[in-house]
Structure formats: structure tokens, C-alpha cells
Structure 1
């Protein structure tokens, strides 16, 4: 029995294992997926999770429910040593386990790219996992509850100030959806007005959404500013200590909610803890057939796909181009990768990965969106419908499609479910306090993450 080990259960890892289950005979190989989380996150739904338009669990696809013939190990891969055909896995209890493999698939995914900006590690929150999206939504709703009982002034202004750092798809979509949620919540808070809301989007480059054209990107900026937001282009975050935001353009303000979406960095395991070949950006060197290695020297039995792999883009007119790290490519790479693995096990021929982009689509809040395919640009409500239609078709399994559609249908009839569940992050507080008033409520409303240096393990020129 040959052992196939898949590092990572995200898009590429999940779809590779799913397709292998459907294709491999039971006696051909055993598939093992290693991931610390028991689910695959459908990241395009995270902005809508922050706005309450999609339930958090509906953006997560259970690995055990859908990978019935795959061995699942809950842990993080800390080292890959292809010389010994082993990976080291750190389990939840802290123990290390070594797995041997005949075939290795590296789909560890990217991590959030950070920089050593004072205060970011203590104040900011990312938008890459379901837990983060839920926390962002609940913190905004809790801030509204607290601001509604305060008189106009600096404290209320800080509670209702939201800052997003990063103008890529994740940042712009999350920003637009959260702005839409905040505007809708004002109807339930007559003591607050739209003038109390302060939404800031900070982008170091001269434009946002680099995947769309200049005119389309400018239209998005104009659309957000017409809704009362501030978009700071060619601007960097200099400091965020104690929630006091300092920008490179000289502007300063207090912000209770800071969301960091400034791109991706290569996974530290791939970049620092493997003997597999990586390029100058810390990405695995991958051939067009998705085998790790170069055209002249493939690494036997090792494959890679997704955000931590430098996959040649054969559909691009630019020589030497690589596929962009998005879900569209990760899913299709996984399907081709699974077919090539089966072909290699059975002595068949391998095929190159080639996929032409279907265009890009983004949500900018309820009823607002943008779509672009080559020179075709669609804006507003039709683009928003296209966004929802595409992603409800793309999310894996019919069970998840039906659940998401049911939430959207219910919201269309009754509106958003505006309930904060921030208290679930502190489930023992009521039990411990025994009904006594808790004087730490203000600090609990915006809990601080653990202190860690906001320094990426990847070089600063890593692609986002």
C-alpha cells in the first residue's frame, strides 16, 4: 500500500484528496491529509461572514464528512525532509509524529504577510480564517451597543472607527461588506447617525484591486467614498499602538477595530523547513505538470499546488509568468494534480496545468459589486448577483450550497440577523463572576491577541 501524504487541507489539499478518493482503487494507495483545522475554509465567503450574510459554519467544509476514505491527522507540519521521505507533524498535545510517504503533495497555503509596524501585533486582526471573520463582525456589533450608550465624543468616535490595511480583494471585499453592515445597523440605533461612522481603507500603492483595470479600480474607490468611507492611496500604516492609528500622509485617529489584509506570504514550513527546491520568494519550484522541481530535474514523487507553489501560467502571454494565488486556480490545479498522481501510479502520461482566467468578481457590500473579464466590466447590482451566483456554485458539496442559499433567502425576507455573540469568546465569564458586575467589560469587548512580533517569515517582495 503506497502512502500519499497531503500537507494542508485548504482548497488545493481538500480537492486533491476528494478527487483521489473518487479515482483511486482501495488497494492502490492510502491518502492522509494533515491540517490543524478539521475543515476547509471557503475564503471567498469570509467577507460575507463579517457582514452576517453567510453563517460562519457554512463557510467551512468539514473534512471528515466529505473525505470518508482519507486518514485525517489534526496537526501542523513542522518539517519536510524529502531525503528521508518523511514529514514531521506536531499534534495538538505538543507531541511530534513522523510520517513516511511514497507520494507527497504540498498544499500548505499562504499565511498573512505582516510587517514590524508598532501596535499591529497587539491591536490588529486578520481576515483569513472563519474565526477572524466572526470576531470582526461581533466586535463591530458590540461597539455599536457600547457607543449607543455614550455621549458624542472621542470615546464613541473611536468605537465607531474601523480601519482596514490592504487594498487587495480580501481587504476591499471585507471593507465593503462591513461598511454595508454598519450602515444597515444605524436603523436600529436612533441615537447614532451616519456621521458617527468612520471607515478608513489604507493602501500603500496608488490603486486598489490590482486584478482589475485602472478605470474599474477608480470606480470602486469612488463608490466607497460616496458611501462615506475614506480611501487612503499611496499611504502606509506607521503605527497602531493602543488603537491610535498614524498614517504616512500625516493623518492620525483612534480606531477600535483594525483589520490587517496586506497580502500573503509563503508558508514558513515551505520557506524555512524543507529540503525541497524553493525560489527567491520562498515558493516551491513547480513544473507545468505540477511536479516539484525544474524542467530538467523533477523531484520524484513530490507534487505541489496552491498559494505556496510557483506554478507556470501557460495561458499567460507573458513569458515566465506564474498563476496568481487565488481559489480559481487552486481548485483547478488540485483536480489536474489528482489526475496526474493517478496517472503516474498507473504508468500513464501526465498533462500540464493550463487554465485561462474566467475573470474577476468582487462584492462591495449588499447589492454592490464589480466584475471584469478582459475589457468587459459590469458594476453594481448585476455584478453582485454574479458574485453570489458564482460562489454558491463554486462552494463544494450540495449540502453547503443549500445551506448558504437558505440563509440568503431568509435574509431577503427578514433582513440581516443583527446579533453579536462576542461573549462566546469568554464562555466562563458569567460562571466565574456568579452574576457580579464585571468591570472589565470594556477591555473584553476588544480582547487583545497574544503578543508576537509582526514580522513575516517571507521576504518583503513575496507576491500577494
Structure 2
């Protein structure tokens, strides 16, 4: 019986394991998924988690609930040694250990790409994981509470200034959703006005949302600006020391929250800790059938998919075109990889991965969105409805679909939930202090868990 080890439980890894469970006969192969997290995160919902439109628990898919016949190892793979058919795993507790295999599937997923910008790691937070989206939401809610008792001035302005760096889908959707949240909050804070709230989107190129057409991208910029957002194009973040944002355009301002969503990089285990062949850009070289390929041909028993794999795009006429590293491809690559693995185990031949895009959708805030399929562009409320419809169909398992639909229905009937759980970052504080509140030592009072927001997130940003 073959041992199949899947490195990473993101979209591609989860769907590979999920479909293998359904396709493999009992006793045909053993499947192991290795991931440091206990669940898969459905990342397209993170902007709505940050805005409080989706419950955080509903965007994670528990491995142990849905992969009932798969061996699960909670740990991070630090090396893939295909010559010896083993991976090295580091768990949260204990010493590193090796896991042998017959077949390896590498779906380790991408990591947040950062640059050596002064203050970035100390002040910014990413938005790839659910805890980051929750922290962004709680930070904004707590900032409104703190600002409401301050007089007009630079300290209040900084608290209510938010900066998103990166004009891709994550940046634009996160910016649009949290801008919508902030405007909704103003109705509950008569002490504050729209002039107190300042949202900035910083993009290094001349346009945002490169996956949509030029005209659609310009409409999104105009739309966000019409809602009071500041969109900085052809601008790069040069410094973020102490929350003071300095852009390459010469603009400077203080920002209480900086969200870094300026692209992804291949997982370090792929770029630096494997003997499998890589492309010039550091991604695993794979054929269209998702088998890893070297200079001398196919690497036996090695497969890869998702953000760490350079998968040929057979639908493109451009020579050497690769599939875009997004959820739409990763999910379908995982399904195809599972089918191909089963076919090879049973003596058959794998099929090439071919997927024609279903179009792109983006939310720009509650009731606002955009959808594009080829030359068809739908904007505004209809685009937002299509965004929600697509993702409720795409999120895996019926259980999660129903939960998301129910939370949307409750928001429709009861309004947006604006309760902050920022104190969760220090859950023992009330117990330890006995309710004693320390007087501020200068620079304004901070709520529990808020004082070291940027520093607490440094490990995650790295």
C-alpha cells in the first residue's frame, strides 16, 4: 500500500486529500496531510471577516471534521528530501522528526512577501490568515472607541487612519470592506465625523486589480475615491516607523493601522529546502498533468499544485504562460491532481490540467462589487450579489455554505455586528489585575491588547 504525503493543507492540498478519500479504495493507499494549522482558510472571505460581514470560524474548514480517513500531522515541513523519500517535520512541541513516503504532493502554499522597509515588520499586519482579519476588525472598532473620547487633533486622526499597501484583490477588497465598516460605524459615534476617518490604498504600479480590464480598474479607483478613499497609484511605501507613513511620491501622514497585502512569495521549504527541480523564479517545475519535471524528464512519484507550482496554462496562446496563483486554479488543480494520482496508481495515464477562467469577482464593500467575464463587466450592487453568490458556491462543504448564508441573513435582518473582541489578545488581564485600570503614562490611553498591536503581529508578518 502506497504512502502519499501531502505537504500543506491549503486549497490544493485540502482538495487533493478530500477527493482522494472519496476515490481511493480501502487499502489502496494511505494519505497523510502535514500542516501547522488545524484547518484550511477560505481566504476570499477574509476581507468580509475584517469588516464583520462573515463570522471568523465560518471561513476555516476543519481537517479533522472533513478528512476522516486521512492521517493528519500538525507541524511544519522544513525539508523535502525526495532522493530518500522523506520529509522533515517540526511540530510545536518536541524534536523534529522524519516522515517517510512513497509519493509526495507539494502544496505548501505561498507566504506573505515583505521587503526591508523601515518599520514594516514592527507596525504592519498581513491578511492571509483568519486571525489577522479578526485583528484588523477589532483594531478598527477599538480605534473608534478610543477616538471618540479624544479632542480633534493628530492623535485622533492617526487612530482613524488606515492604510492598505497593495492593489491586488486582497488589498482592494480589504480596503473597500473596511471603508464600508468605518462609514457604518460613524452612525454610532456622534462625536466623530467623516472628516476624522482617512483610508489610504497604496499601489506601486499605475493601476489596481490587474486581473480586470483597464476600464474596469479605472472605475474601481473612481468608485473608491468617490466614497472618500485615497488611492495612491505609482506609489511605494518607503517607511512606516512608529506608524508614520512615507510614500515615494513625497506624501507623509500618520496611520494607526497598516495592512500589508503587497503580494506573495513561494514557501521557503520549496525555494530553499528541497532537492526537487525549481523554475528560475523559485517555483516547482511541473508538467501540465501536475507531475514534477526535471531536465531529464519526469521526477517519479513527485507532484505539485497551487501557489508553489509553475503550472503551464494550456488555455493561453502566450508561449510559456503559467496559471495565475489564485484560489480558482488551486482548487481545480487539487481535484485534477487527485484524479491523476488515482489513475496512475491503477496503471492509467494522468490528464493535463486545463481550466478556462470563470471570470473574476471582487467585493468593494457592503452592497458594492464588480464582476468581469471576458468583455462583460457588471458593477455595483449586481456585481456584489454575483461576488457573494460565487463564493458561497465555491467555499467547500455544505456545512460551511449554510453557516455563511445564515450569518448573511442575520446581518440582513439585524444589521452589522459592531462588538469588538480586541481584549481577546490579553484574556487573563482582568483576572490578573482584578479590574484595576492603570493610568496612561502619556500618548493617550490604550485598551487591553491594543498597546502592542504592531509588535504582537511581527511573527505573523514574517
TM over 0.5: yes
Alignment map for 1:31-430 (pairs within 5 Å): 31-294=31-294, 297-430=297-430
1:452 offset after TM fit, Å? Answer: 6.1
RMSD: 1.5
Determine which of 441, 446, 453 is the counterpart of 1:442: 446
3-state DSSP of counterpart to 2:150: coil
Gaps (5+ residues) in structure 1? Answer: 457-464
CA distance in 1, matches of 2:60, 2:438: 34
CA distance in 1, matches of 2:291, 2:110: 19
Deviations 1:234-278 (A, max 9, x none): 000010000011111111111010000000001100000000001
Deviations 1:272-292 (A, max 9, x none): 000000112110001010001
CA distance in 2, matches of 1:437, 1:312: 59
Deviations 1:62-106 (A, max 9, x none): 010000000000000000000100000001114211000001000
1:454 offset after TM fit, Å? Answer: 11
CA distance in 1, matches of 2:134, 2:31: 32
Conserved? CA contact 1:116–1:454, under 8 Å: no
Aligned length, in residue pairs = 456
Conserved? CA contact 1:287–1:294, under 8 Å: no
3-state DSSP of counterpart to 1:83: coil
Deviations 1:89-141 (A, max 9, x none): 00111421100000100000000111000000000000000000000000000
CA distance in 2, matches of 1:295, 1:287: 12
**How does the TM-score come out when normalised to structure 1?**
0.96
1:309 offset after TM fit, Å? Answer: 0.3
Conserved? CA contact 1:287–1:295, under 8 Å: no
Conserved? CA contact 1:115–1:455, under 8 Å: no
CA distance in 2, matches of 1:182, 1:280: 43
3-state DSSP of counterpart to 2:3: strand
3-state DSSP of counterpart to 1:158: helix
Conserved? CA contact 1:120–1:454, under 8 Å: no
CA distance in 2, matches of 1:3, 1:177: 44
CA distance in 1, matches of 2:438, 2:49: 29
CA distance in 2, matches of 1:427, 1:455: 22
Report the counterpart of residue 433 of structure 2 in structure 1. Answer: 433
Deviations 1:332-370 (A, max 9, x none): 000100000001111011100000111111000000001
**How does the TM-score come out when normalised to structure 2?**
0.97
CA distance in 2, matches of 1:108, 1:432: 40
CA distance in 1, matches of 2:88, 2:278: 19
Conserved? CA contact 1:50–1:136, under 8 Å: yes
1:296 offset after TM fit, Å? Answer: 5.3
1:448 offset after TM fit, Å? Answer: 2.9
Conserved? CA contact 1:363–1:369, under 8 Å: yes
CA distance in 2, matches of 1:451, 1:56: 18
**93-102 vs 377-386, greater mean Cα deviation:** 93-102
Change (3 A) 1:311 1:141: same
Conserved? CA contact 1:116–1:455, under 8 Å: no
Conserved? CA contact 2:124–2:461, under 8 Å: no
CA distance in 2, matches of 1:188, 1:347: 65
Report the counterpart of residue 459 of structure 1 in structure 2. Answer: none
Conserved? CA contact 1:117–1:454, under 8 Å: no
1:455 offset after TM fit, Å? Answer: 10
1:438 offset after TM fit, Å? Answer: 3.1
3-state DSSP of counterpart to 2:306: coil
3-state DSSP of counterpart to 2:455: coil
1:451 offset after TM fit, Å? Answer: 8.5
Change (3 A) 1:439 1:23: farther
